[in-house]
Amino acid sequence: MSLPEVKLSDPKALRGYAHPLRMALIGLLRQHGPLTATQTAERLGESVPNCSFHLRQLAKYGLAERVPGADARERPWRATAHNTSWDDASDDPQVRAATDALSATQLALYTRRAEEFLARRADEPVAWRAVTGFTDRPLYVTADEMGRLTERIEALLAEYDDRVTDPTKRPADSRKVTLVQLAVLTDPPPTEPPAEPPAETASPHSGTAGLTAAGTGAPRAGSAGEEPGDQP
């Protein structure tokens, strides 16, 4: 199944979501909501007025909403969707600046979660220590290939989506795992396009005049041997 999603495109909404407490509130509502502002404050160690303010801001951008029918003063809040997405490929300078700020906030949140896990990892059962942690791998792919790879990963993870929304489908010994996907270019962008190899001049007796190296299946210039992976 496909989880409900909110897609942010307005720079104001993107900047509005780029706040550690607001991201924490949305995560809390998605996992444990509906919750009142008082309950979120208790779980996050924040003041009630502070949580109330940020919940109202999340509602302003369509990320949270009040549960109808409850007491107006302590009416619980809930998330409007299970996922939030935005366009990282926009050419709009304002959108790009806002998405960069949002991604930086998100990365800081992921880093903090990883550090918290490392601090208690020694206390985890061996079975879980064996299957959690960090890894990296260098890939040489085109943009299209990277897109298709991402789609395949998303399709695989989608097989577990129903467990997010329906706790009865979770195995008894299952636990919540945050799987973070970081696809980063480790080389700077090229300043000039790769030079085309010279066209091959055919013999007067040949019937293959005008074929380039690419056309004959020969490797293009500029390819390099694989280098060892390094941590970003």
CA 50 from centre of chain: 27
Phi, psi at residue 73, to the nearest 5°? Answer: -75, -40
Residue 32 lies in a domain: yes
**pLDDT for residue 184:** 93
Both tokens assigned to 163:
């467990």
Q: What is the pLDDT of residue 221?
A: 29
Question: In the numeric block, which tokens belong to residue 108?
Answer: 């800081």
Contacts 24+ apart (CB under 8 A), 184-192: 184/232, 186/138, 186/230, 186/232
At how many degrees (to 10) do helices 93-120 and 20-32 cross? 60
Residue 168 in domain: no
| Ranges under pLDDT 50 in the chain | 1, 201-232
Whether 232 maps to a domain, the answer reads no
How far apart (Å, rounded) are the C-alpha atoms in residues 175 and 133?
Answer: 15
Does residue 201 fall inside a structural domain?
no
74, part of any domain: yes
Q: What is the pLDDT of residue 2?
A: 54
Instruction: Return the pLDDT at 193.
Output: 65
Please write the tens of the pLDDT for every residue from 22-51.
Answer: 999 999 999 888 999 999 999 999 999 999
Provide the pLDDT for residue 46: 96
User: What was the pLDDT predicted at 89?
Assistant: 81
Domain span at 39: 5-125
Specify the 3-state DSSP secondary structure of 17. Answer: helix
Question: Is 219 a domain residue?
Answer: no
Query: What total of structural domains would you count in the chain?
Result: 1
| Residue 22 domain flag | yes
Report the CATH number that the domain containing residue 29 is assigned in CATH. 1.10.10.10
Residue 147 lies in a domain: no
Q: Helix H segments across 46-190?
A: 48-60, 93-120, 126-129, 143-158, 161-165
